[in-house]
Amino acid sequence: MKIELFLLFMLAFTIPISFAESPEEWNRLADMPEVRSEMEAAAIVDKIFVFGGLNNQGEATNTVFIYDTKENTWSIGAPMQVSLHHAGVASHEEKIYIVGGYLDGWIPSRTLLIYDASNDSWTIGADMPTARGALTAQFVEDKIYAIGGFSGITNSENEMYVPETDTWESKSKMPTAREHLASAVLDEKLYVIGGRAGQFNLNSHEVYNPETDSWETLEPLPTARSGLTASVLSDAIFVFGGESALKTFEENEAYIPGEGWFSQQPMPISRHGLASTTVGNNIYVIGGGVVPGFSFSGITEAYHNTVIPEFGTLAAIILAVSFFTIIIFTKFRNKIDHSVFQYHKA
């Protein structure tokens, strides 16, 4: 019995530790050719495309920077037809869709620009019904959902674009109106996180199910912030950076459906108005301002995480199975020992 107790003790001691360990790493990479904030990024295969944004004069730009993750080098793509900042971005196969945003003079746009990465060219799609900037956009299956933003008021619009027919349709509105929010797609559901309404940062966290055109409120973001970014790695959504009136955030908080929120290794350099996207086993976090308001950088960093929560459900299951295995093994061994004893006695 001493052996079984020793094994049980070792399992109880080592499993929580192994599940709490989550190898994380930040690496500084080549800077963007020019500083930017409030731009958008999307990845296709091993390249990252960064669109528009504000330059160091606070002006809207139409530049396209292309980062090669294999070579750690930047190049320049065909410029957008118009200069934009605070746009939404969504990618599908080899096309990237730039949705809304602000024109020079902070004029909300309804423009839909479509970039074909296969030949570095642009086309224009049907205008979005509601002109707005500081929104978020994501593909779910083969449709784009453009959500939230600011159009003279903070709004909760949820408008769906169908590339096949080049048409828009209004869908169920987001429960919490907000702008400067982040979003991510996991298991065909669209998660919208943080943002602000007026001058107030929000910790709102809601998920949209396109199949049922319905929303659900989830566990709030631990750190309320706006001007943040989010990307998926494995089965978790990682939320980086952001700002308040007084500071920029270095926070890196991960959400795992069914498990909740977990604090992760902070960003090396806090900033807002940044962009992020996933390539392979890394999330690339790019640009943004290092102080609240108008500030800019060309910072490019790669974040890696094996995505293991602290002693979660899986660890508990393993421990329970191990415990019952030891009990069964003990009973089985006792039966054998008893049989052997009876045999020798005979």
* pTM (predicted TM-score): 0.84
Mark whether 115 and 263 lie in a shared domain: yes
Domain extent for 80: 24-305
Distance, in Å, from the CA atom of 20 to the CA atom of 175, rounded to the nearest integer, reads: 34
Q: What is the mean pLDDT of residues 161-181?
A: 98
Mark whether 244 and 102 lie in a shared domain: yes
CATH number at 282 reads: 2.120.10.80
Mark whether 300 and 315 lie in a shared domain: no
Mark whether 324 and 196 lie in a shared domain: no
Return the pLDDT at 23. Answer: 81
Using CA of residue 310, residue 228, residue 64, residue 123, what is the dihedral sign? positive
The total number of structural domains that make up the chain: 2
Return the pLDDT at 220. Answer: 98
- Give the DSSP letter of residue 69: T
- Give the DSSP letter of residue 192: E
Distance, in Å, from the CA atom of 262 to the CA atom of 265, rounded to the nearest integer, reads: 10
Give SS3 for 218. Answer: coil
Adjacent-strand bridge partners of 43: 48
Mark whether 242 and 338 lie in a shared domain: no
The region of weakest confidence among 179-193, 221-235, 274-288, 327-341 is 327-341
Mark whether 297 and 326 lie in a shared domain: no
Asked whether residue 192 carries a pLDDT value surpassing 90, the answer given is yes
Of 269, 280, 233, give the one whose Cα is nearest residue 27: 269
Q: How confident is the model at residue 319 (pLDDT cuts 50, 70, 90)?
A: very low
Asked whether residue 2 carries a pLDDT value surpassing 60, the answer given is no
For the CA atoms of the chain, what is the radius of gyration?
25
Mark whether 176 and 266 lie in a shared domain: yes
Mark whether 42 and 118 lie in a shared domain: yes
Mark whether 16 and 142 lie in a shared domain: no
Mark whether 17 and 28 lie in a shared domain: no
Mark whether 86 and 114 lie in a shared domain: yes
Mark whether 211 and 225 lie in a shared domain: yes
pLDDT, tens digit (0-9, with 9 covering 90-100), for 293-303: 999 999 999 99
